[in-house]
């Protein structure tokens, strides 16, 4: 759990003080008036009240033809990103991409659809901002490059290419609902684990530190 100082609007965790400008931690003063925040609430604070929100989007990647489980996971993922105040970036078509955009829209969030073709009308109806790139599958590389991190939901050859590009670029890649079993992908049991994983990543903590109480190295 995180703690938010009511008087200073500063975020603390395990006796440490968070600096939103550097996304680093230092020794902090004892707290007397603080509210406890879960990981989702802490991310929302970062995006809305911390003064230095993450401006890069979070990429959600997955196949056009997906299982019911992958579609449900994608929709939940979109909603979680929206509640955290994070912008979603995806390929903008159907399947996992449409489900993620739908989840984000239903939760009041913003999604960006980067289409492979030149016709914006091919975007799914839930996409918030549509960018018709006209560059075909090369747009996969743009999604991997532009995203702060990637969430792979399900698997396909196209999704695998985005996973590989993300890992090649040094991006953190989370996996859900049958994502490719590739070394470097951080597989999560279900979307409910996503807020903690994202918080550990965006706040510069090792995975598991939020519950384990141990401090780890800062993530890139």
Q: Give the integer Cα–Cα distance in Å for 42 and 59.
A: 20
Going by pLDDT thresholds of 50, 70 and 90, the confidence category of residue 138 is very high
Give the CATH number of domain 58-200: 3.40.50.450
Q: Give the integer Cα–Cα distance in Å for 210 and 96.
A: 29
In contact, 166 and 182? CB cutoff 8 Å: no
Mean pLDDT over residues 119-128, rounded?
Answer: 98
DSSP state string for 201-217: HHTT--TTHHHH----P
Facing residues of 186 across strands?
174
Per-residue confidence (pLDDT) for residue 211, from 0 to 100: 45
Return the beta strands (E) in the chain as ranges. Answer: 2-5, 11-13, 16-19, 24-27, 34-37, 58-61, 88-90, 111-115, 129-132, 149-153, 172-176, 185-187
> Which token pair is 162?
């985005």
**Backbone phi and psi for residue 180, each to the nearest 5 degrees, phi listed first:** -55, 135
pLDDT over 90, % of the chain? 88
Going by pLDDT thresholds of 50, 70 and 90, the confidence category of residue 206 is low
3-class DSSP state of 78: helix
Facing residues of 173 across strands?
150, 185
Going by pLDDT thresholds of 50, 70 and 90, the confidence category of residue 29 is confident
Whole-prediction pTM value? Answer: 0.91
Per-residue confidence (pLDDT) for residue 28, from 0 to 100: 84
Return the beta strands (E) in 98-184 as ranges. Answer: 111-115, 129-132, 149-153, 172-176
Mean pLDDT over residues 31-49, rounded?
Answer: 95
Per-residue confidence (pLDDT) for residue 1, from 0 to 100: 86
pLDDT digits (tens, 9 = 90+) for 74-101: 999 999 999 999 999 999 999 999 999 9
Going by pLDDT thresholds of 50, 70 and 90, the confidence category of residue 209 is very low
In contact, 46 and 54? CB cutoff 8 Å: yes
Domain ranges of the chain: 1-37, 58-200
Residue 219 has pLDDT above 80, yes or no: no
Indicate the pairing of strand 24-27 with strand 16-19: antiparallel
**Backbone phi and psi for residue 196, each to the nearest 5 degrees, phi listed first:** -65, -40
Mean pLDDT over residues 163-169, rounded?
Answer: 97
pLDDT over 70, % of the chain? 93
217 against 145, higher pLDDT:
145
Going by pLDDT thresholds of 50, 70 and 90, the confidence category of residue 217 is very low
DSSP state string for 25-47: EEE-PPPSSEEEE-HHHHHHHHH
């Amino acid at each position: 759990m995180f703690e938010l100082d009511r008087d200073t609007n500063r975020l603390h965790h395990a006796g440490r003080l968070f600096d939103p400008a550097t996304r680093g931690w230092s020794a902090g003063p004892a707290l007397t008036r603080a509210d406890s925040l879960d990981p989702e609430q802490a991310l929302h604070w970062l995006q809305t009240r911390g003064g230095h929100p993450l401006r890069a989007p979070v990429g959600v990647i997955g196949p056009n033809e997906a299982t019911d489980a992958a579609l449900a996971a994608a929709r939940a993922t979109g909603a979680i990103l929206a509640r955290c105040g994070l912008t979603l970036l995806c390929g903008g078509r159907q399947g996992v991409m449409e489900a993620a955009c739908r989840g984000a829209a239903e939760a009041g969030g913003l999604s960006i659809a980067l289409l492979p073709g030149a016709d914006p009308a091919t975007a799914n109806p839930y996409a918030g901002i549509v960018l018709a790139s006209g560059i075909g599958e090369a747009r996969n590389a743009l999604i991997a490059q532009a995203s702060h991190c990637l969430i792979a939901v399900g698997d396909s050859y196209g999704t695998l290419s985005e996973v590989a590009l993300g890992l090649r670029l040094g991006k953190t890649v989370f996996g859900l609902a049958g994502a490719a079993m590739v070394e470097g992908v951080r597989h999560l049991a279900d979307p409910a684990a996503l807020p903690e994983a994202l918080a550990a990543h965006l706040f510069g903590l090792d995975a598991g530190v939020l519950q384990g109480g141990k401090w780890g190295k800062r993530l890139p």
